[in-house]
Amino acid sequence: MRALSLGLVVLAASAQASQFVILDITYNHSGQGSEPSHKHVQPPYPGGVAPPSNWLSPVDYAHGKAHFRLEVMTKPSNVVVNYETCFVQPTGYGCMGAYGFTKVGVYEWEKSLPNMWQYTAIDWAKNAVQNEIAMVVKDANYNKIETNDPSLYPMQLRYTITILSPGSTYVPPAADAGVKPDAGLPVDAGQPTPDAGHAHDAGSTFDAGAPLPDAGAPFDAGVVAPVEDDAGSMPIEQQPPVTPPPTMTTGPGPDAGVPAAPMDEPAGGCSTAGAASALWLAAVWLRRRRPR
């Protein structure tokens, strides 16, 4: 089991060491300066990893190859341009054969490092790009273009160099760098989610902040609430009129909601005032007839 684990570690290390990006730069080759044809880039190199201090050991990159990717974003004309790359050390330099193009686009090619011009001028037991990497613009005859020629300059370029060990195959970087497009978040994570559980009209907006009727509020007996028509009763205008009972006297105003009734009158509505008067007259008459 331990041997298997060590084997996997060795394989992983080998896979990681099979290639590395040494430069990934976007720039404007303006044709200005003392060397219009050259673009000089010094370490640390943008977009790349730190180059090994020895290109022969422990990995023999010196006998490997370089993969180039050139994206030409703008170019003033269709005149042929040959694009060359050089590795520079304090004691010497070497250059790889130029690649020609005429228009905007993406170009990729590979070159064997042992086939580069002045290969032996570089000390491969050291950092092969210790001083700089130079990109050189040449014409169709491979002559450096040292004048500010408007048919050639400026050019907007993105240039990537990947170094591969012997026998390895170039593996392009993942477009998304291993990150999911939505980073694991719902598509509408920043938007309010409509409540599908409401039965409101889909064409109208429900105001969740509006006060709702309080079903628990006490009923105010002093306020007359409108009465809805009872579908099973006779309309008010068709009901027979109610005849109020006869009254002899008037009292205080009727209590709201209580039927009016004569003061001191029985609920039946009958009067006793006539009988009381007759008894009183009879008593007076009998008193007068008594002997004195």
Output the domain CATH number for residue 101: 2.60.120
Q: Residue 54 falls within a domain, yes or no? A: yes
Q: What is the pLDDT of residue 143?
A: 94
Q: Residue 181 falls within a domain, yes or no? A: no
Provide the 3-class DSSP secondary structure of residue 85.
strand
State the total domains in the chain. Answer: 1
Q: Each residue of 230-277: pLDDT tens digit?
A: 444 334 344 444 444 444 444 444 344 434 333 343 344 444 444 444
Q: Which residue range(s) make up the domain with 35?
A: 19-164
Q: Each residue of 44-73: pLDDT tens digit?
A: 999 999 999 999 999 999 999 999 999 999
Q: What is the CA radius of gyration of the chain?
A: 54
Read off the pLDDT of each residue in 278-287 and give the average, rounded to a whole number: 54
CA angle 239, 242, 247 (to 5 degrees): 170
Q: Residue 277 falls within a domain, yes or no? A: no
Q: Each residue of 113-167: pLDDT tens digit?
A: 999 999 999 999 999 999 999 999 999 999 998 988 899 999 999 999 999 999 9
Q: Among 163-167, 172-176, 189-193, which stretch is predicted with the lowest mean pLDDT? A: 189-193
Q: Residue 127 falls within a domain, yes or no? A: yes
Structure-model confidence comparison of residues 33 and 100, the more confident one: 100
Q: Which residues face 157 on adjacent strands?
A: 27, 72
Whether the CA torsion 184, 190, 195, 196 is positive or negative: it is negative
Q: Residue 186 falls within a domain, yes or no? A: no
